[in-house]
Amino acid sequence: MQYSVGGVPLCVPLILEKHDISLVDYLEESESAELMSRKIKDDERYGLGKAIGDKAGPLFAKWYVYSFGLAKRQDKGWQNLSFELPFDSNAGRVLWRTGFLLDWASLNEYKRWDVVQKGKGKGGLDYIRVTNIRAKKSDKASRDDSVFRAYISVCREYLHTKKRGPKTVEIQQIPNALLLDTDYGIGELDDGLVYIGTSFCLNHQTPKCSECPIKGSCEGYKREPDLIQGYRT
């Protein structure tokens, strides 16, 4: 008999119940929502493994903490800076076209990391594999004192991803640092990026740039049209 991996997530609550473990207690024993998102994939006994993708973990954390407000814990490790941006293709496309990602690393670095894959996109254009950004370091952000100080605070107080003080900044966590001490969190940012990506910054040659509410801050629209025309996600 064959089983689909789609049923695996439904089995986890049943297995936990059999072992007298509450699902909420299992999820929230982690120090942060980000660590929880990694645990539900990698946990040796109850992890989902290949049944959940790299972006699905942070997306689940977003739903759990922000979208549906299910978290019982209210400490900083379970607030709206406590998980990484899910980095789906819509968010990645907007961050690439606006020039945000190139603010923190060079095109050559993204090529070396296989984030930019030459000729592998639709129509033979370069492909942006957004999930490959994870764990890549930004020397520029590490040298920016204000960003680096905020990053240290985010890692220690919200993400709990660094047991020791971080020495370099991981690109996928820069949004958390930039949002520190603002009225917004990763949930609002991701909602906005997905809205822009699905309504205006479409994945083809003729996105609705002139109608886009962030066109004034978009490097691709204002100065570098190849960021729009030369890449697909």
Spacing of C-alpha 109 from chain mean position: 19
Q: Are 208 and 199 in contact (CB under 8 A)?
A: yes
Q: Residue 4: its pLDDT value, please?
A: 42
pLDDT in tens, the chain (233 residues): 333 444 556 678 788 888 899 999 999 999 999 999 999 999 888 888 877 888 889 999 999 999 999 999 999 999 999 999 999 999 999 999 999 999 999 999 999 999 999 999 999 999 999 999 999 999 999 999 999 999 999 999 999 998 788 999 999 999 999 999 999 999 999 999 999 999 999 999 899 999 999 999 999 999 999 999 999 99
Transcribe 12-69 into DSSP letters.
Answer: HHHHHHHTT--HHHHHHTSSSHHHHHHHHHH-TTT--GGGS-TTHHHHHHHIIIIIS-
Alpha carbon 82 to chain centroid, angstroms? 12
Residues in the chain: 233
- 128 phi/psi in degrees, rounded to 5: -100, 110
The reply to whether the predicted model has a pTM over 0.95 is: no
The tokens 């960003």 sit on which residue? 147
Number of other CB atoms surrounding residue 44 within 10 Å: 6
Contact present, 58 and 83 (Cβ < 8 Å): yes
The 10 Å CB-count burial string (b at 16+, else e) for 183-202 is eebbbebbeebbebbeebbe
pLDDT at 152 (0 to 100): 96
